[in-house]
Amino acid sequence: MEGLAIMTSGGDAAGMNPAVKCCVDYSRTKGFKPFLIRDGLRGLIDNDISEATKEDVSGIMHRGGTVLRSSREPRFYELENRQKAYDNLKALGITKLIVIGGDGSFGALNQFYADFQIPFAGIPATIDNDIPGTDYCLGVDTALNVIRESVDSIRDTANSFSRAFVIETMGRHCGYLAMVSALASGAEMCLVPEIEYDFESMGKRFRKDIADGRNYIIAIVAEGTNMADYTTRWIKDSLGMDARLTTLGHVQRGGSPTVRDRVMAYHFSVAAVDSLLAGQTKEIMTFKGGTYGTQPIDVVVNSKPVTDQSIVKLCKCLSV
């Protein structure tokens, strides 16, 4: 039987575990012998690789993060360590890989393919939702629900104490989490890299609202703007309202995967195995415009992510 190894790499995201389970179960029905690589690229180098058992993937659907663990391994940039990784795979009869992760992980496997021609399929999994060519990455819906619950709770306190709360979300240079969260929670302000913001205009809007009886403000700020601290000070100084900053941080990566993330994991996993069966060598699974598909890794590494412009349009009024 041909060996197929599954790994998770880069930042963890809810939905990785359902994807691992589906990849193992579905690949076995297609005649592969599934293996699991633990600790991401580090495990690939250090040979932390074993044949997948039923026990390995039982009871993991509801678990957040990744049971395979992950790492950011700078040693993989050195050819001699990639050679070790290749030798480890060869010794176990592994001829194909599935990597569940983000663009950095895909880039690493692309280099690995260039060195040793080991075909791989990529499943996009990052709460940043910043993989070019796909509208959705595993973990996004769960992260949005974590943020939504946090903002709802903070709003209760904001209203009780007549305060403003600035809530910083993750997402690197992509404002998707912040924008969708602002819309879903009814925030009064949203600052993201994709939209120009005008504090003078917002000041006029908020002063009028306060005069009309508004007693609190919820501002969602994407970490990529580096404006969370400034916004908190601006609200205090310009609006005269007590303001507090809440940085949600890595809590956004955790939590039991939502139904959507679990179902998306199945779609992506089946597509990844089928991609390798069809002889494709380095394809990334995608969900674009409501349709599942694939795209070459070269498109991913040579393109910039584009945020859904309909969401950007809806959020513009929250930045002026």
Domains of the chain: 2-139+257-303 (3.40.50.450), 142-253 (3.40.50.460)
Which is catalytic among the residues 128, 135, 141, 261?
128
Q: Is the pTM of this model over 0.85?
A: yes
Distance CA 74, CA 71 (A): 9
Nearest to 269 by CA among 109, 136, 138, 119: 138
* 128 catalytic residue (yes or no): yes
**DSSP run (H or E) holding 155:** helix 140-161
| Residues recorded for the chain | 320
- What are the structure tokens assigned to 122, written together? 């990529």
What is the pLDDT at residue 301? 85
What is the pLDDT at residue 233? 98
The stretch 289-294 carries a mean pLDDT of 95
Mind listing the pLDDT tens digit for each residue in 136-170? 999 999 999 999 999 999 999 999 999 999 999 99
Strands (E), the chain: 2-8, 32-37, 49-51, 94-101, 120-124, 164-169, 189-191, 217-222, 243-247, 282-288, 291-296
What is the pLDDT at residue 302? 87
Model confidence at 223: pLDDT above 90: yes
Model confidence at 72: pLDDT above 90: no
Q: How does DSSP classify residue 11?
A: S
140 and 171 Cβ atoms separated by less than 8 Å: no
